[in-house]
Amino acid sequence: MSTDININTEIAKSELRPIAIDIATFNDSLESIEIETEEDQGKVANLVKFMNGSRKKLEEKRLSLVKPLKQVSNDIDALFKVPRDQIDLVLVKAKKKMNVFAQQQHAIAAARAKAERIEADREAAEARKVAEDLASISEHAAPMAEAVIEQAEKKVEKAAAPVKVEAVRTEETTTAVNKTWTVDVLDVVALCRAVADGLIDPSMVEPNMVALRQFCRTEAVEREKFGCKFYQAISTTVR
């Protein structure tokens, strides 16, 4: 097969050389033409038709060379597809179970952290009360009162730290728990309203141009509406 491919490639190269010359010639011709009359338009159309034919021949030759290679590639892909898909399925199931466990552990850690914050806030409130009582007894007790408040504030600060789930380690692996901010759009109208009100950047909402063009063809009226300009684009086709 390798020998056949090399031979076909050399044949293709020999067929490409005159086409490359034609391309350069027609490009020079095109550069020299300024379309000012229908005759000029016709000349360029003739060039386009010829180049379209050349491109078609190129594509046919390319496909004739690629087709046998694609068949070999498809056969190899088919050979590996079943076991590869089975591995992927097992990996998806395993990752799902691991994510569920991680979410449960995070929920437990979050509940524990919330309880610790509540307790720390309670202790801080009691510490402030004790500090006030100490300060009212004697001015010499002020440093002690400040120390009591400082200790309580440290507990509050520690309890306010982000929730963290420790990595799970074995002899062979370490499974870290990753937290990544993401978003689901619940109300696209509210999202667009936020853009209109200047609360978020317009790039947050990407227009669906395929749907808009379909809507434009349905309306078939040149006008500006919904922040869009509906119009007929002018182009040419050579047959």
Name the pairing type of β-strands 228-230 and 223-225: antiparallel
Classify residue 102 by burial, with Cβ atoms within 10 Å: 0-12, 13-18, 19+. middle
pLDDT band at 61 (very low <50, low <70, confident <90, very high): confident
The more confident residue out of 183 and 161 is 183
DSSP string, 5-21: HHHHHHHHHHHHHHHHH
- Which are the contacts of 102, defined by CB distance < 8 A and separation ≥ 6? 165, 177
Q: Distance between CA 42 and CA 54 in Å, rounded?
A: 18
pLDDT single digits (tens) 121-135: 887 787 777 777 766
Look at 72-76, 118-122, 146-150, 220-224 and tell me which has the smallest mean pLDDT.
146-150
The more confident residue out of 122 and 190 is 190
Indicate the average pLDDT of the chain.
82
State how far the alpha carbon of 80 is from the alpha carbons of 76, 84, 89, 90, in Å.
6, 6, 14, 16
SS3 234: coil
- Which are the contacts of 163, defined by CB distance < 8 A and separation ≥ 6? 106, 109, 110, 113
pLDDT single digits (tens) 74-99: 999 999 999 999 999 999 999 899 88
pLDDT band at 11 (very low <50, low <70, confident <90, very high): low
Predicted pLDDT of residue 152: 73
Res. 170: pLDDT tops 90: no
Indicate the angle between helix axes 142-159 and 38-137, nearest 10 degrees.
Answer: 150
- Which are the contacts of 41, defined by CB distance < 8 A and separation ≥ 6? 35
Predicted pLDDT of residue 19: 78
Res. 12: pLDDT tops 70: no
